[in-house]
Structure 1
Amino acid sequence: MWEWLTWVFDQGTNKQMRLFCYGLWLIWFSRNRLLYERRCMTGIEIARQIRNYIVELDAIKEKKLTLQSAGNNQQVGRRGRVTVHFDAAFDHQSSRSATGLLLRNEEGEILASEAILHSEIATPFTAEAYEGLQAVKLGIFMELNKMEVVGDSKTVIKKCQSTNTNKSIIGAIIRDIQSKKDRFQKIEFHFVPKAKNVYAHLIANEAIRRRGSFYLMGGILDSVRQAGLNERRNERFGNKVAEKNSFHVF
């Protein structure tokens, strides 16, 4: 295998090698989807996701966002704590769900964002637990030492915090999460209100809208960023209306 990889890299151009590496990564992603979701991706689906992935990364490169490589992300992760926000979006009509993940360092800078589209996940509750597992796996992939996992599902967060054996409907997923805790120097799970977890949810929604997964280093999609700004604008407008309509009784 190593000889074959070495030969391929010796023969190809940088552009070809980028395509080759993305292809290998998505084939591995397809393997995991088959293993955990019993869904087999077609060659056409893999090719489309490779194309979309390249387009998104080219856009990030053009904008010269803060971090340019996974190596930089990993170095930041080793030096300090990284917070991973996770949330799920669930489409009842198609029974599809999606994971939305957003990574920030201690200064609040975005290290990466990821959306993973799933199928055949029975309920939104199960989807939320599975998203927590995806957050932990992303931390392992990026070789983080100290990690804070943040979500807006109180039940899932409490089960992740517990060290007791979980026998609920999502017990197998929770046990998988707990078994991976020793991969980190320190890992904590915290609950936040939905208002503070907006971008993770918007990333998941975008995956359902696009019907595809994506991963970006150093930023988020422009469509997600704009949707987040709209959410904040609507929230501020709602607060102003509430203040205007409020009154005090003495």
Structure 2
Amino acid sequence: MVVYYWVIWSARNKFIFEGKKSDSRILAAKAESVLKAYQRVSKPGNVHGTKDRGIDQQKWKPPPKNVLKLNVDAAVNSKDQKTGLGAIVRDAEGTILAVGIKQAQFRERVSLAEAEAILWGLQVAKQVSSSSLIGESDCKEVVELLNNTKGSRTEIHWILSDVHRESKEFQQVQFSFIPRTCNTYAHALAKFALRNSSTDVWVDTFPAEVQNVMNCVVS
């Protein structure tokens, strides 16, 4: 119960000091995420520095009604200095609304590629709707930086600034970390992007090659 009070208190401060009104559905999802994180680290045997092997969520979960969910990922080919960015947007029914792929130059750090994937994903999601959005990535470091729970790293600061600026195009955006098992579609699309030099976004209807990529994924 304390978690929910804390989330409401944070939203109240945001409204008072920044004039931003929070969507109740996003608040509920945020509270649930914080509670699960606390329960995870509170389990017996969990120590600092261990990986999230006991994480509750192992499969993708749809967002609340009237909220969209964006999943993104980056795949890297260090030999050719290329990065593939994949993004997929779904609604509360699990219906795929949009898919986007983009190939970019690899900039030495995987975290940079993952941050670029989030930025790319927001650009894809904007073509569907500017309503409330939950963005998910399996890169914990970048999600923590976006949520200001980890100290800033100057080398990706400019990308994070672009992400925050792009987020203002939506009614509300929440960024969450998820394990790879919940991000399989985005991961497959990122690998697909490595094999395609073009930048593409598809809304509602998708070419056969993209459908084949997603059909091969165990979600």
CA distance in structure 1 between the partners assigned to 2:210 and 2:188 by the alignment: 6
Aligned to 1:125: 111
Q: Displacement, 1:93?
A: 1.4
Query: What count of residue pairs does the alignment treat as equivalent?
Result: 155
Q: Which moved more, 1:99-108 or 1:130-139?
A: 130-139
Q: Percent identity?
A: 22
TM-score (norm 1): 0.55
Correspondence for 1:93 among 60, 79, 104: 79
Cα deviations by residue, 1:146-172 (Å, 9 ceiling, x for unpaired): 111111000111111228983432111
Q: Does 1:206 find its partner at 2:196?
A: no
Correspondence for 2:138 among 148, 152, 161: 152
CA distance in structure 2 between the partners assigned to 1:80 and 1:98 by the alignment: 30
Larger radius of gyration: 1
Kindly indicate whether the alpha-carbon contact (under 8 Å) linking 1:165 and 1:175 is maintained by their aligned counterparts in 2: no
Cα deviations by residue, 1:193-219 (Å, 9 ceiling, x for unpaired): 111111111111112113333222225
**Cα gap change, 1:226 to 1:183, in 2 (>3 Å):** closer
**Cα gap change, 1:181 to 1:223, in 2 (>3 Å):** closer
Q: Displacement, 1:180?
A: 3.2
**Cα gap change, 1:165 to 1:158, in 2 (>3 Å):** closer
Aligned to 2:16: none
Cα deviations by residue, 1:43-92 (Å, 9 ceiling, x for unpaired): xxxxxxxxxxxxxxxxxxxxxxxxxxxxxxxxxxxx82111110001111
Aligned to 1:244: none
CA distance in structure 1 between the partners assigned to 2:118 and 2:204 by the alignment: 21
Aligned to 1:21: none
TM-score (norm 2): 0.62
Kindly indicate whether the alpha-carbon contact (under 8 Å) linking 1:150 and 1:192 is maintained by their aligned counterparts in 2: yes
Q: How does 1:48-67 map to 2 (within 5 A)?
A: none
Any unmatched runs of 5+ in structure 2? 1-64
CA RMSD of aligned residues (A): 2.5
Q: Which moved more, 1:162-171 or 1:191-200?
A: 162-171
CA distance in structure 2 between the partners assigned to 1:215 and 1:114 by the alignment: 4
CA distance in structure 2 between the partners assigned to 1:116 and 1:91 by the alignment: 14
Q: SS state of the match for residue 126, structure 2?
A: helix
Q: Displacement, 1:192?
A: 1.1
Aligned to 2:156: 170
Aligned to 1:106: 92
Q: Displacement, 1:229?
A: 4.7
Q: Which moved more, 1:123-132 or 1:222-231?
A: 222-231
Q: Displacement, 1:223?
A: 4.2
Aligned to 2:69: 83
Any unmatched runs of 5+ in structure 1? 1-78, 236-250
CA distance in structure 2 between the partners assigned to 1:152 and 1:231 by the alignment: 16
Kindly indicate whether the alpha-carbon contact (under 8 Å) linking 2:114 and 2:139 is maintained by their aligned counterparts in 1: yes
